[in-house]
Amino acid sequence: MQSYTIGQAARLLGVSPDTARRWADAGRVPTHRDDTGRRLIDGEDLAAFSVELAGSGGEEGSASYTSARNAFPGIVTAIKLGDVAAQVDIQAGPHRLVSLLTREAVEELGLEVGMEATARVKSTNVHIDRT
C-alpha cells in the first residue's frame, strides 16, 4: 500500500505541512512511523480524509481564493438544464454573461433563477474594439 509523508499529504490536500501536521496530531488522519521515524499516512486513509475534507468545505472559516480577477457579481436570469450540460445566464449590470458548465455543477451550487451569483472570467484572449 502507498504511504505518504506529511509534506506529500499536505501538497495533495492543498494545505501547508503545518496544517497537515496539526490534523495528524489531533487524530483527524491516522499516521504511523516508518523505520527511520518519519510519520506516514496510508494512501487509503489519506483518500478517505480528502473526501471528508472536500465534503465539509475545508477548514471552517476558510476563504475561497482564485486567480480570476474579473469578477461580475449579478443575478441569475436563466438556467437551461440538459442531461449532462447546462447553461447559466447572469445579468451583471449592463453585462449578460453566459456560462456553459455541467448539470452536476449547477446542482451542487444550488443555482436558481433570481439568486445572486458571481461570474468569474479568466481568458487567454481579450479583444478590444475602438468605438
Per-residue pLDDT 10s for the chain (131 aa) are 789 999 998 888 878 899 999 999 999 999 999 999 999 999 889 888 888 887 775 544 445 566 667 888 888 889 999 999 999 998 887 788 899 999 999 999 999 988 888 888 877 776 667 76
pLDDT at 64: 57
In the chain, what are the helix, strand and coil shares in percent, each to the nearest 5?
30, 35, 40
Can you read off the three cell numbers belonging to residue 41?
A: 499516512
Of 37, 38, 42, nearest in space to 9 by CA: 42
Q: What angle do CA 64, 118, 116 make, to 5 degrees?
A: 115
